[in-house]
Amino acid sequence: MNEFVITYNGKKISVGILNDKRVKINGAEYNAVLSRVDNKSYLLIVDNKVFEITYNRIEKDKFGLLIGSSYYELYVRTKLEEAASEILKKKSSTHKHDVVKAPMPGLILKINKQKGDSVKIGDPLFLLEAMKMENEIRSPITGTIKELMIKEGTSVEKNEIILTFE
């Protein structure tokens, strides 16, 4: 069974795909058939009710869904991804990170966020090249960038402060 967690307006919905004609939503089983209309459109039939769905990916796990004439923004994660996200949230709340340091010496290839930008846990902050490998450094917390100490093309040393958070 494929299991997913859908988050909409802070509410989590558990969805399990039992087979190609049955789903389990928050513990209740339903007959369901999903048919692709085109690249981003589907017809979903749940217990003989038909829904037209069009979607677009906003971020890695965030989607915009148009169901009939109603629009929804929601997060779709596998059960494992959801568990990892919860662990990161707990870790962030118990460990205060007000700076991001270079994890190794290298060259800043790309800066994804600027001073004043809001970031969420896991958002890419910058790309660091070290030993001919590109390393995407991600945000350890949800917050706002207070100060950026580097520019693209700058060399950094291990533990050098790259940015600070408010």
How far is Cα 21 from Cα 45, in angstroms, rounded to an integer? 10
Averaged pLDDT for residues 84-99: 69
pLDDT of residue 91: 64
Nearest to 104 by CA among 156, 164, 161: 156
Phi, psi of 114 (to 5 degrees): -120, 170
Domain boundaries for CATH 2.40.50.100 within the chain: 99-165
Structure token digits, residue 137: 């450094």
- pLDDT of res. 97: 65
H helix or E strand, kind and range, residue 40: none
CATH 3.30.700.30 occupies which residues in the chain?
2-83
Can you give the pTM of this predicted structure? 0.54
Instruction: State residue 92's pLDDT score.
Output: 55
CATH class of the domain defined by 2-83: alpha beta
Q: What is the assigned CATH class of domain 99-165? A: mainly beta
If pLDDT is split at 50, 70 and 90, which confidence band does 1 have? Answer: confident
pLDDT at site 149: 92
- Nearest in space to 59 (alpha carbons), one of 115, 3, 112: 112
pLDDT in tens, 92-138: 555 566 889 999 999 999 999 999 999 998 899 999 998 888 989 99
pLDDT of residue 163: 93
